[in-house]
Amino acid sequence: GYTVAHNKPYAGGFITEHYGRPARHLHALQIEVNRGLYMDERTFQKSAGFDSLACDLTRFSADLMSMPDHHFVDLPLAAE
């Protein structure tokens, strides 16, 4: 599994506020991924975890896109 945090270490806001339009049912989601999960930060080469992370993110994206719209109404904004 992965460790997940809300607004840590950054309290986001610009991307979601700039691109999201909740009133028009256009929602924005910002996800930051620790580079150590998929690359060697010294050499910039893919690490052993790259393929697994790519698969997990692909599956997560597909699951998210298949969710009905009613799951996304009245959600708080990023920095709240």
Number of domains in the chain: 1
Residue-wise pLDDT tens digits, 24-75 = 878 888 888 999 999 999 999 999 999 999 999 999 999 988 988 766 665 5
Residue 72 DSSP class: G
Q: Which residues contact 11 (CB under 8 A, 6 or more apart)?
A: 78, 79
Q: Is residue 80 part of a domain?
A: no
Q: Is residue 5 part of a domain?
A: no
Residue-wise pLDDT tens digits, 2-33 = 998 887 777 767 888 888 888 887 888 888 89
Q: Is residue 33 part of a domain?
A: yes
Q: What is the mean pLDDT of the chain?
A: 85
Which two structure tokens, joined as six digits, stand for 40?
């060697």
Residue with tokens 């910002």: 30
Amino acid at 24: R
Q: List the domain range (segments joined by +) for residue 28.
A: 14-72
